[in-house]
């Protein structure tokens, strides 16, 4: 049995490397909801990897595809959704999240984000330049959007289950 009935979707926002996917996957069964990862849904819909999509069509086109995928999900039945770190830069996506979901910002400190986001070479935005500088700039640009989330949790060092517990407490 789920511990909590949740009538709305729960949308996780925050920087790449904050743990949205891992946390979302563990949070969903505790709410009795299915889990979706926006990046994976984009890859499924396009038949291409996020990196290839960026390389072939550019960031703007990726953002449009991302917004479409998120819209399709949020207009459907409740679920837990891990968004890509930049999804909140799209005004329609922000509006839709506000209207249809409970949003959760998972915040992690810069060191943690740099370490996690550079572990595998899968983040197109980190291909050029110094990853730390890029991530720092992106955090500053996106902070106002992340701060608008309904719930704010700090990504816990150690097992992600602590972060899941914090979100469960905040949802109750
Ligand atoms: C991005 C984050 C990535 C992915 C793409 C762009 C971003 O998702 O959507 O590389 O702009 O922050 P994760 O946050 O799941 O890594």
- The per-residue pLDDT for range 82-93, each reduced to its tens digit, is 999 999 999 999
- β-strand partners of 106: 153
Length of the chain: 172
- The per-residue pLDDT for range 99-142, each reduced to its tens digit, is 999 999 999 999 999 999 999 878 999 999 999 999 999 999 99
**27 near 79, Cβ under 8 Å?**
no
Structural domains of the chain in order of their starting residue, each with its CATH number: 9-171 (3.40.50.300)
**83 near 38, Cβ under 8 Å?**
yes
- The per-residue pLDDT for range 44-58, each reduced to its tens digit, is 999 999 999 999 999
- Could you tell me if the CB of 125 is within 6 A of ligand 1? yes
CA 37 – ligand 1 centroid, Å: 11
Query: ipTM of the assembly?
Result: 0.97
CA 83 – ligand 1 centroid, Å: 8
Which residue is closest in CA terms to ligand 1's atom 12?
85
Task: Indicate the pTM of the whole model.
Answer: 0.96
**What atom of ligand 1 comes closest to residue 123's alpha carbon?**
10
DSSP letters of 114-136? Answer: HHHHTTSS--GGGSSS-HHHHHH
């Amino acid at each position: 049995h789920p511990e909590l009935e949740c009538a709305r979707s729960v949308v996780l926002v925050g920087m790449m490397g904050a743990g949205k996917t891992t946390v979302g996957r563990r949070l969903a069964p505790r709410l009795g909801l299915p889990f979706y990862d926006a990046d994976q849904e984009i890859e499924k819909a396009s038949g291409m990897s996020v990196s290839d999509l960026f390389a072939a069509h550019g960031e703007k086109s990726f953002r449009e595809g991302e917004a479409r995928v998120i819209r399709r999900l949020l207009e459907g039945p409740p679920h837990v959704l891990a968004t890509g770190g930049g999804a909140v830069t799209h005004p329609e996506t922000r509006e839709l999240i506000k209207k249809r979901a409970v949003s959760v910002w998972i915040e992690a400190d810069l060191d943690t984000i740099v370490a996690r986001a550079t572990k595998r070479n899968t983040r197109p935005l980190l291909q050029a330049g110094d990853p730390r500088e890029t991530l720092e700039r992106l955090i500053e640009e996106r902070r106002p959007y992340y701060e608008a989330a309904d719930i704010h949790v700090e990504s816990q060092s150690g097992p992600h289950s602590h972060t899941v517990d914090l979100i469960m407490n905040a949802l109750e």
